[in-house]
Chain A
Amino acid sequence: MHIHSYEKLWLGMALLLIVGFIGTITYGTVGAGVQMVDDSGGNVEPGNVSEHEEFGEPGVEKVGENEYDVHVVARQFVFNPGSEVYGAIEVPVNSTVNFYVTSADVIHGFSIAGTNANTMVIPGEVAEITIETEETGEYGIVCHEYCGEGHHNMEGLLRVVPEDEYNGSTQ
């Protein structure tokens, strides 16, 4: 097959670029330890979320020195906890926070604005993401997947507070 020499050079550079991209992603996963949301959260029956051991009473729970589990139930058009009716999610700064998010009805999204905490929320599945709280402040939580006619009203708040102000309850 006849290939022009410039074209061969271009082909080589293109392959190098591709391998380079795969290399950086692999480094991000293995070296920097950015894990993808996966099947580790397990399954939960959407109709029985309220009877589930953790999602039945969702909220913040201290599970270790500077480590917290937050269970969140998304349903049209609120996050429990997170949305105004349930109160903001409050965690102390300089801690590790594991979010477990599931849906009681349709597919939702869960992202913390201005950060890379971002996951789909699929009925039947539990999404598990872990963040490190490095700065105090208020962060908006957005449902980023269309979930029905009130979708644009679905929002929540994450409050990262100084360690000495943290009182261990959702408010």
Chain B
Amino acid sequence: MSTQTDQPSFVDRYPEEAAVVRRSLLVAFVMLGIGALMGLVQALHRTNVLRIIDSADYYTVLTAHGVFLAIVFTIFFLVGLYQWAVTRSLDRSPVDIRFTHAWATMMTVGSLMAGAAILLGFIDEVPVSADVLFTFYAPLQAHPIFYAGLAIFIVGTWMAGADWFRTWLAWRKDNPDERIPLQTFMVLTTMIMWYVATLGVAVEVLVFLLPWSLGLIDSVDPLLTRTLFWFFGHPVVYFWLMPAYLLWYTVMPKIAGGRLFSDPLARVVFILFVLLSTPVGIHHQYVDPGIAQGFKFIAMTNTMFLLLPSLLTAFTVVASIEHGARQRGGTGLFGWLTALPWRDPAFTGMALAGLLFAAGGFSGMVNAGMNINYLVHNTLWVPGHFHLTVGTAVALTFMAGTYWLWPQLTNREIYSRPIALAQVVMWFGGMALMSNAMHVAGLFGVPRRTAEPQYSFDFPALFGTIGELRLQIAVGGTLLFISTVLFLSNLAFSLGTPKREGFGQTIPPALSGPEDSPAVLDNMKLWAAIAVVLVVLAYALPLGAIISDNGLFGVGIEPYPMLVRPLFDWAGATLAGLAEVIA
């Protein structure tokens, strides 16, 4: 958390921008609260500890948990953080703040539409639902407002990216010879990746799913649409992760008392993400029929090379905090660890998030192993994995980062530091428990995405019992929910702490600065072009093969549930009737 300084804070210098950041974060945290509640319901329902809903409604809960947390919470936090990072590191306002407000509004409207479609699934009397889970695989069908909301939300993120590129170009005019400041570099590279990645989902939604849900086209091909989903579905995980990396690279070393070890390596890492995040999506389809083995092999090798930026990050981040610890008087081979600011929830939260990310990285390597994937595909192992990555590396880093950033956005102290510290430790403990049990249960074959993994046969537990694992999941999930409540209430109480001055923070330059790296790293056009070429190489043939086998729209695929079309037929019949009466 922040110490007293004589610097003006972010809100002192950029009040309008700070308001945009605060609002984005608030939307993110409201979604975090709802999503966490859904998570608790699931953890207790699946394990048969407490079932307060029908099992049929479990999938509505699961859809809300996935979409609210993995899309709305993460991306609203991202746009807030990135708006702060661009403004701060370029030291200038957006070219036109009305445009900034416009994208924030678009994203909010899109989220509300998609969110409403999902939550109306709880009310059987209303023929609107989107019980399609985070992946919305056709021919499961959602109400058109779900797809339309999603499209509007994504267009909002595109506008946000355009806004930051515009700010950067304006800055470039005034500073023709300077290197791009690191935080802005990270924002721009993230957005290049995002533009490439979202092409897949944009085509999926706008060309196929939305017209299909409106009854404009009869059928869509399940394999083609899910391949387009995963074109987007893997890089989106880096869209979650890159803001966490931004905090680890630029904020964490400072909190640890030092500075970033290497600015050039940080740039290389983000460029590797631009290049390799997208041409790997088929690794989610290792056991899909209809895709040749060779394409899966290519996705596998690309995926393995995508380990490189994360392994480099592990080095740089640890080296940076070790440097910080030694600045604080730490000594010895491992003795420096004790000199770190463990009482600071911002530091401890990020450090624990990084620790669990390492574990998540290892389970991810297993997922990436094409033929080992048979053992774990669609088992509970997989959500065990991504609760370590997006559910901890990202979510816990965001919460910890908020403890550091919030005072600079409001000029108000965080209400309670001990509660904040307890909160991040509780998240770590709850997640360690829950995710470990999920991994193990997955190895025994327990499937993910099911309301009642209790079948007429028993899963062969190789050690321990399925009952013990269920208990760990229930306890872990409960701890995570309590941790979320502590975070949100601590933040809510922070709205009422007295305003004061002295929250300004600076970020010290890296030990090895940008002047140590070649200028070509800052050539955004070049990296964008190479990224597109790699995507074309990875996807042209598989997509071509699917379309030549199945046609663009598939044959004879009926949507499920049959809710929307009768409604539209009914509306059409009513309109036709009215027209007759009037005529």
Chain A residues with CB under 8 Å of chain B are 1-4, 6-7, 10-11, 14-15, 17-18, 21-22, 24-25, 28-29, 32, 34-39, 41, 43, 45-48, 76, 84, 105-107, 109, 111, 113-128, 138-140, 142-153, 155, 157
Contacts and interface: CB of A to CB of B under 8 A. Distances in A.
B447 A18 contact: no
Contacts of A34: 371, 374
Contacts of A149: 55-56, 59, 131
A144 B447 contact: yes
Contacts of B372: 25, 28
Interface residues on B, range: 35 or more
A6 B319 CA distance: 10
The 5 A-B pairs with the shortest beta carbon distances in the complex, nearest first, are: A47-B556, A140-B457, A149-B56, A127-B289, A144-B447
Contacts of B378: 109, 111, 118, 120, 144-145
A120 B297 CA distance: 18
Contact of A122 (B288, B377, B556): B288
Contacts of A143: 447
A28 B371 contact: yes
A114 B449 contact: no
18 contacts: A3-B265, A7-B312, A10-B312, A17-B311, A25-B369, A45-B556, A46-B556, A47-B558, A105-B560, A107-B137, A109-B447, A111-B447, A118-B377, A144-B377, A144-B378, A150-B56, A151-B59, A152-B450
Contacts of A14: 307-308, 311-312
Contact of A21 (B312, B365, B379, B518): B365
A10 B221 contact: no
Nearest to A154: B450
A7 B265 CA distance: 9
B544 interface: no
A94 B130 CA distance: 46
Interface of B: 55-56, 58-59, 62, 131, 133, 137, 139-140, 221-223, 226, 261-262, 264-265, 285-293, 296-297, 300-301, 304-305, 307-308, 311-312, 315-316, 319, 365, 368-372, 374-375, 377-379, 444-445, 447-453, 455-460, 512, 516-518, 545, 549-550, 554-558, 560-561
A43 B550 contact: yes
Given A3-B265, A113-B457, A142 B447 contact: yes
Contact of A24 (B316, B369, B459): B369
A123 B450 contact: no
A2 B319 CA distance: 16
A6 B557 CA distance: 57
A28 B373 CA distance: 12
Nearest to B365: A21
B496 to A, nearest CB: 43
A119 B447 CA distance: 12
Contacts of A17: 307, 311
B307 A29 contact: no
B289 A38 contact: yes
A90 to B, nearest CB: 15
A1 B457 contact: no
A131 to B, nearest CB: 11
Contact of A111 (B140, B316, B365, B445): B445
B139 A122 contact: no
A111 B448 CA distance: 12
Contacts of B312: 7, 10-11, 14
B557 A107 contact: no
Contact of A4 (B55, B59, B512, B550): B512
Nearest to B451: A152
Contacts of B558: 46-47, 105
Contacts of B304: 18, 21-22, 25
B371 A113 contact: no
A4 B56 CA distance: 56
A130 B55 CA distance: 34
Given A18-B305, A152-B453, 8 more contacts: A6-B315, A37-B288, A38-B289, A116-B375, A142-B455, A144-B447, A149-B55, A151-B59
Nearest to B309: A14
B556 A144 contact: no
B370 A29 contact: yes
A23 to B, nearest CB: 10
Contacts of A123: 139, 222, 554, 557
A32 B56 CA distance: 42
A117 B374 contact: yes
B307 A120 contact: no
B450 A146 contact: yes
Given A145-B449, A152-B450, A114 B459 contact: yes
A148 B563 CA distance: 13
Contacts of B59: 146, 149, 151
Contacts of A128: 289
A35 B293 contact: yes
Contact of A144 (B58, B261, B375, B449): B449
Contacts of B457: 113, 138-140, 155, 157
A160 to B, nearest CB: 13
A74 B223 CA distance: 16
B287 A39 contact: no
A2 B450 contact: no
